[in-house]
Amino acid sequence: MKQKKGLVVITLLIVFLVVLSMFLIKNNAVQEKKSTVLNEAIDIDGQPTQGEKSAPVSIVEFGDYKCPSCKQWGETVYPKLRNEFIDTGKVQFSYINVLFHGEESILAAKASESVYRQDKKAFWTFHKAIYEAQPRVEQHDAPWVTEESLLKIAEKSVPKIDQKKLTSDLRNEADILDEVSKDDALVKKHGVELTPTIVINGVKLEDPFDYETISRVIEEQVTADE
């Protein structure tokens, strides 16, 4: 009887180890799908950036002002990210324009670049205000980004910005369009296909809304830098 009990225990132990191994293999596979390592670092020179330059972690958001998911990310994930990591000196955060929705995306990007050129700090206020002006999801495809709407958003959110200069940039300024084109080139270079796309120290996340993974990756990078 004792031998039989011993065999049963050993059998159960073997089964447990096999199941555990399968679970770990599957879990690792899932983790691998959650990120993609880029072949080259993203050039954030001249891009709107928050946080300490000496921060050990660089996060880049590729976003489109016409994208409902970008609006949602900015309202749900970004505030936690800023409070926990940007304001504490662990993360430097940059934003790059994506132009997936055509002329409206381009126009909003031009407006944000114009404001950034006039006042780098005002950019983030204007940036948030554009997303706040985005209509409900079921109406987001309807035209709402216009020269008039952007000027009104700027007048209300960043009143110190020169409206005449902003108008000129929206209509005629080639330098501003060049900045937008630089963003578009970065989007293509790094294979950005969805918005928002979040990249942490060269690691492109599969799920930008998975804050648990975002936090874990940041802490791992901070620890590696120590």
Q: Is 88 part of a structural domain of the chain?
A: yes
pLDDT of residue 30: 36
Gap between the terminal Cα atoms of the chain: 57
pLDDT of residue 140: 66
pLDDT in tens, 87-126: 999 999 999 999 999 999 999 999 999 999 999 999 999 9
Domain count, the chain: 1
Q: Which stretches of the chain score pLDDT less than 50?
A: 2, 4-9, 11-13, 15-33
For residue 164, give its domain range: 37-225
**What's the CA gap between 54 and 155, in Å, rounded?**
34
Q: Is 4 part of a structural domain of the chain?
A: no
Q: What CATH number is given to the structural domain containing 139?
A: 3.40.30.10
pLDDT of residue 22: 43
pLDDT of residue 194: 95
pLDDT of residue 9: 43
Q: Is 1 part of a structural domain of the chain?
A: no
Q: Is 215 part of a structural domain of the chain?
A: yes
pLDDT of residue 8: 44
pLDDT of residue 143: 85
Q: Is 120 part of a structural domain of the chain?
A: yes
pLDDT of residue 18: 43
Q: Cis ω on the peptide bond leading into residue 196 (within 30° of 0)?
A: yes
Q: Is 15 part of a structural domain of the chain?
A: no
Burial class from Cβ neighbours inside 10 Å (0-12, 13-18, 19+) for residue 15 reads exposed
Q: Is 91 part of a structural domain of the chain?
A: yes
pLDDT of residue 35: 62
SS3 at position 36: strand
Q: Is 21 part of a structural domain of the chain?
A: no
Burial class from Cβ neighbours inside 10 Å (0-12, 13-18, 19+) for residue 208 reads buried
